[in-house]
Structure 1
Amino acid sequence: MTPNSTVCVIIAAKNAAATISRAVRSALAEQAVAEVIVVDDGSTDNTGAEVLSADDGTGRLKLTGFERNRGPAAARNHAIEASTAPLIAILDADDFFLPGRFTHILAEDQWDFIADNIVFVKEESVGQIRNGVQKFQRQARLLDLEAFITGNISQRGKQRGEIGFLKPVMRREFLDRHQLRYKEDLRLGEDYDLYARALVAGARYKVIHSCGYGAVVRHDSLSGKHRTDDLKRLYEADQAILANDNLTKAQRSLLERHEKHVRDRYELRHFLDLKNQRGPLSALAYALRHPGAVPAIVGGIAADKSAALTAKPAPKQTSTSAALRYLLPASPETERP
């Protein structure tokens, strides 16, 4: 590997003792990885000890941390400042890299950000995943801001597959040149916000469809839990991007659509929180004071009730490969004769 193709993997971890060693080992197994920096974000379990148990003795692993929890954005910023490699890769503490991930990624050129396909797998199936992951053609393409925003608007009743789930490798030089870091007040959508701001700044965001990232689906995942105020901060982040005068009309329209999508979710959640915590009259009073929120509240409640009435039981999985789901549609890799 040349110096310009070495990678620092950064992992933010909070109470991740059950999974962190797997994540660290998968990163250290990659030859392109020069550093693995784990930030223990105020854990109250033995996350730190589990990190050190995965050390391979090469000197590439560094453990640092906060005494109190500050959130994944702050942890990742801390790791970026502590790292020296020219390329930065994000790995969540309960996820893992598939062998050879960076071989495919670093074969591409002319990018500032580059991401590959993600396979979603249930925790109980991780041990059998190696032989079940499909090999896909790389099919490299550039992702512009319009496609990115469109791909981050979830649709009710469909499995979540927002492009913001992608875990790109990022060039430090681009981040530093445009003074880009994670917004530390965000605990939801911090990845989406950073990538959107990078695209506004002109980032070349390349996507390849070969699969190198394993995302573990867990019922107790921290990423699946967020407060109502987290939604508020996320739509406010959209509003901050919308203040940029250099956006095209199409970009502005899509960002406004995403902002409204998140704001509607906030209004519904806030109304239901008031109803549960202070009673129906308090929730109704809020709706009367904020008539602009009423369509989101009424529409959201109606959609939730409709979804509950029409919900179907999940199909039973009969094999490990059937239990796998991929974020990006892709063409199978053809075998060479």
Structure 2
Amino acid sequence: MTAAANICIIIAAKNAADTIARAIRSALAEPEAAEIVVIDDGSTDGTAAAARACDDGTGRLNVVRFDENRGPAAARNHAISISQSPLLGVLDADDFFLPGRLRQLLAHGDWDFIADNIAFIDAAQAASAHGRVDRFAPSPRLIDLVGFVEGNISRRGVRRGEIGFLKPLMRRAFLDQHGLRYDESLRLGEDYNLYTHALARGARYKIIHSCGYAAVVRGNSLSGSHRTDDLKRLYEADRAILAETPLNREAEAALWRHERHIRDRYELRHFLDLKNEQGFGSALGYALTHPAALPAIIGGIFADKTERFRRPRSPAPFALGGKGDVRYLFEAFASDGPK
């Protein structure tokens, strides 16, 4: 540890015994990390034991186990409550930091939140990731509420630019000043919701294009699956922000677009759930008695049926191409070549 060690890294984990060690060791390797708090969120495997086995004797690792699964928001909130560091960062249990990530972020000032680029890496290639990730010029910029919300709206056939994937460092003082924590009713979009609340309260959210976070792409990732009801809670969370927070017209319009985007996904999923569970007649009855949902249902079904006839203009960032491919959340010119 150094005098500049002032960051708590939070890892919420469920059934991550196979990947948790890599995540923890990458955080422990960062001298700026004063605490690594791991919350085993009701795992049924050896996640907690695998985490404790990573203890390097510096006293920085704290592993807490929930007997029952409470969700990532509750796990992260608990980690915040038992930690002391003025800066907070989140690391997913199947991801890892590239060396020097925290130093790279702390080189920039004037922020309440700061995030860097993400490299999406195939699980089979994770061990050699560091040597294949490009070096990008930082090109720091501030993102406002409208830009952030718009960046979380997916468009079919277009590379997903969902900046809700970002894993920023956060100033505890800002969260405390505005009474902000993760919404524990959400199991989808809890990060997006927290950052949206913060931006609505004037947070300075800085983004740099330097890449220090490696997101491992796996077919069975928990973050890649969600229930239909999770979508409903997320668009209702947008509505809550709109009802409770004074916003300018442009910000309101962006939030309503995101609310509609998520609500359309919900309506299609709900229709298909009814069809699968209760039959087509029940699903059709729902559609006919909810005419506002019809465009989302019809448009979604048509798009799904014709997907194979369309060539996507650009794949999603997590849909890797050839063997060993690396994709980035932010497209940028690789200024210095491979690291």
Shorter chain as normaliser: what TM range?
over 0.9
Q: What is the letter of the counterpart of residue 266 of structure 1?
A: Y
Structure 1 position 244, deviation (Å): 3.4
Q: Distance between the aligned counterparts of 1:139 and 1:298, measured in 2?
A: 42
Structure 1 position 155, deviation (Å): 1.1
Q: Distance between the aligned counterparts of 1:181 and 1:166, measured in 2?
A: 17
Gaps of 5+ in 2: none
Q: Is 1:86–2:86 an aligned residue pair?
A: yes
Q: What is the letter of the counterpart of residue 13 of structure 1?
A: A
Q: Which residue of 2 aligns with 1:66?
A: 66
Q: Which residue of 1 aligns with 2:253?
A: 253
The 5 Å alignment of 1:48-59 reads: 48-59=48-59
Q: Distance between the aligned counterparts of 1:137 and 1:65, measured in 2?
A: 40
**Residues 274-296 of structure 1: CA deviation (Å, up to 9, x unaligned):** 00000000000101111110111
Do the aligned residues in 1 keep the contact of 2:121 with 2:327 (CA within 8 Å)? yes
Q: Which residue of 2 aligns with 1:317?
A: 322
Q: Which residue of 2 aligns with 1:296?
A: 296
Task: Give SS of 1:272's match.
Answer: helix
Do the aligned residues in 2 keep the contact of 1:139 with 1:208 (CA within 8 Å)? yes
Q: Distance between the aligned counterparts of 2:70 and 2:101, measured in 1?
A: 30
Gaps of 5+ in 1: none
Identity score, percent: 61
Do the aligned residues in 2 keep the contact of 1:5 with 1:106 (CA within 8 Å)? no
The 5 Å alignment of 1:1-337 reads: 6-310=6-310, 317=322, 320=324, 323-334=325-336
Structure 1 position 160, deviation (Å): 2.9
Q: What is the letter of the counterpart of residue 308 of structure 2?
A: A
Task: Give SS of 1:129's match.
Answer: helix
Do the aligned residues in 2 keep the contact of 1:5 with 1:86 (CA within 8 Å)? no
Task: Give SS of 2:132's match.
Answer: coil
**Residues 129-154 of structure 1: CA deviation (Å, up to 9, x unaligned):** 11100000010000100100110001
Task: Give SS of 1:35's match.
Answer: strand
Count of residue correspondences: 332
Backbone CA RMSD of aligned residues: 1.7
Structure 1 position 334, deviation (Å): 4.0
Q: Distance between the aligned counterparts of 1:16 and 1:113, measured in 2?
A: 27
**Residues 244-301 of structure 1: CA deviation (Å, up to 9, x unaligned):** 3520000000100000000000000000000000000000010111111011100110
Q: Distance between the aligned counterparts of 2:2 and 2:248, measured in 1?
A: 38
Do the aligned residues in 1 keep the contact of 2:117 with 2:213 (CA within 8 Å)? yes
Q: Distance between the aligned counterparts of 2:72 and 2:320, measured in 1?
A: 34
Do the aligned residues in 2 keep the contact of 1:113 with 1:205 (CA within 8 Å)? yes
The TM-score with structure 1 as length reference comes to 0.95
Structure 1 position 306, deviation (Å): 1.1
Q: Distance between the aligned counterparts of 2:140 and 2:244, measured in 1?
A: 29
